Amino acid sequence: MHKVCVPHATTPYRLLQGDTTGHLRLRPQMLAGISRSLTRRAPPFPLAATAAAAAAAMSSSSTGENVSDRPVSPDTTRVAWVGTGVMGQSMAGHLLAAGYALTVFNRTASKAQGLVSRGASLADSPRAAAAAADVIFLMVGFPSDVRFTALDPSTGALAGLAPGGVLVDMTTSDPTLAAEIATLPTLATLSIFAGGDAAVVARLAPLFKLMGNALYMGGPGAGQRAKLGNQIAIASTMVGLVEGMVYAHKAGLDVAKWLEAISTGAAGSKSLELYGKRILERDMAAGFYVRHFVKDLGICLSECQAMGLSLPGLALAQQLYVSLMAHGEGGLGTQALILAIERLNNTSLEKKD
């Protein structure tokens, strides 16, 4: 669905739309995705009715036009973004640069100031952000953050979503949370229709094209599982890359020349392309945080356990990344895996052995 500033990270998109049936799963060029359609029932529930009325007053014309009836463009569509961290700020910036009116919310307001200084409006809650938008994107850290940000009855984004409005959740989350959200109609707050509505994706294409390519992944949970599979592949690739670099170092090779030599063959990878030089330069700045990757791999392992699936490479990678957390390195980028392998071998690429 979109391309982000975090190389190799993939992000799920959970798309919820009012007055539309269909459970969507989307994957961007560099971000696997999950999407789902959500519809809000007309009355009989006070919260839904009140939120729908308030949001409709802000996003629909006096004729009662449903926002889903309008084409998506900078002239007709207002966008909101919740979660302006490393990835979120960059992706929201693409929308702002394309001319879309943007409202942002972040729990730490200072992290949204870069976008505000470029013309975005700052909301005081996800609900307020959703009420000021026709399409709202979420990019938060953990499944618990998704639950609070989207579902809290007082401040959650869905409480402010207008009829026909769309919520796109790009957080890597637990597929079981997607299933839980799909049961919300029984809680008398929201109606969720699972299926597959290509028209929703087509209508949002102008937004998605600013960030990448959208791919429909299937029914509920499929987008999250596609993302988890992506993380499994990345984890093992990163282990192979840093192990190869430590081997080349201990063997007395020029690691930079070695990386160049293997980059065009079967050992070449996007991880090597994006992180090889940064590792040599000891640049551990986060594009995708270790702590978030540990969360992702933990979800992967839980899914595998539920499936009766044994993936030893995944388990090893998760333990190595957990060791970085134990050393207080959760705020580094995923390329910091080199530190774990160096410690295991009492060596460092920085010095000759």
Q: Which two tokens stand for residue 117?
A: 């200084």
Going by the DSSP 8-state scheme, the letter that residue 72 receives in this structure is P
Element (H, E) at 169: strand 166-169
How far, in Å, CA of 341 to CA of 352, rounded? 16
Quick one: CA dihedral 216, 218, 223, 225, positive or negative? negative
Per-residue three-class SS string for 188-232: CCCEECCCCCHHHHHHCHHHHHHHCCCCECCCCCHHHHHHHHHHH
Cα-based angle 156, 18, 80 (whole degrees, multiple of 5): 50
Annotated active-site residue 250? The verdict is no
Q: Which two tokens stand for residue 69?
A: 């009836």
- Residue 229, judged by CB atoms within 10 A of its CB (0-12, 13-18, 19+), counts as middle
- Catalytic residue, chosen from 3, 111, 227, 250, is 227
Q: Which of 220, 262, 208 is nearest to 91 (CA)?
A: 208
Instruction: Give me the torsion for CA of 301, 304, 308, 309, rounded to 10°.
Output: -100
The secondary structure of the chain in percent helix, strand, coil, rounded to multiples of 5, reads 50, 10, 40
Q: Which two tokens stand for residue 58?
A: 């802000």
Backbone φ, ψ for residue 216 (5° rounding): -75, 130
| Full strand arrangement of the beta sheet holding 166-169 | 14-17, 166-169, 135-138, 78-82, 101-105, 121-122
Q: Which of 242, 234, 219 is nearest to 336 (CA)?
A: 242
Residue at token pair 């640049």? 283
Q: Are 72 and 204 in contact (CB under 8 A)?
A: yes
Catalytic (active-site) positions = 227
